[in-house]
Structure 1
Amino acid sequence: MARICKHGYVSGRVQGVSFRQATAEQAERLDLDGWVRNLVDGRVEVLFEGDEAAVTELASWLEQGPPAAEVNALELQDQALQGVAGFIVRR
């Protein structure tokens, strides 16, 4: 299966609700590589790559996020593979 990469932003109540940690757990469960971080404007930025089906599954999960989150918008774009290994929560 082809590897693909997505980069984007999640808006809404996505900080202070364990969004980054839950995203990392989902990414690791799906064997995806990449990172997630909070932005000063209140959004969460995410980059993830791996098998197309797994990337699609995480993208769908990001539309809802963890139970305490309220996602208002998800903006994702295709990106060239970054060659990252593992999935990390950036500070």
Structure 2
Amino acid sequence: MSEDVRMTAWVRGRVQGVGFRWFTRARALEIGGLSGFALNLDDGRVQVVAEGPRTACHALLVWLQSGDTPGRVDGVTEIWATPRGGYEGFVER
């Protein structure tokens, strides 16, 4: 069984106004076992916070970096931490 973790990723590129948050939520639900959110930031990036099994969080990160996302991803920076909890499902903010 994979340990639960919190993965926070900041995605930069042309990732706002292209359905990025919607597709991120859809991918998180498809992977399963994840809770968290995708949020547009004022500087043009999208912040993705996912909590759940490490393998599921890693799968979401791989997708974020894959080029199979809407828009254009120029780079992803992520940090890993202990889950904080308090999320109901995976949502767009």
Using the size of structure 2 for normalisation, the TM-score is 0.89
> Alpha-carbon deviation of 1:44?
0.2
Is 2:60 aligned against 1:50?
no
Q: CA deviation at 1:57?
A: 0.5
Residues in 2 aligned to 1:23 and 1:79: alpha-carbon distance in whole angstroms: 20
Runs of 4+ in 1 over 3 A off after TM superposition: none
Structure 2: segments with no counterpart, 5+ residues:
none
Q: CA RMSD in A?
A: 1.1
Whether the 8 Å contact between 1:19 and 1:65 is mirrored in structure 2 is no
Deviation at residue 87 of structure 1 after TM alignment = 0.5
The answer for unaligned runs of 5 or more in structure 1 is none
Q: Once the 2 structures are TM-superposed, how far is the Cα of residue 8 of structure 1 from its aligned partner?
A: 2.1
Identity of aligned residues (%): 36
Q: Size of the alignment, in residue pairs?
A: 89
Q: Map 1:5-84; keep pairs closer than 5 Å.
A: 5-31=6-32, 32-63=34-65, 64-66=67-69, 68-83=70-85, 84=87
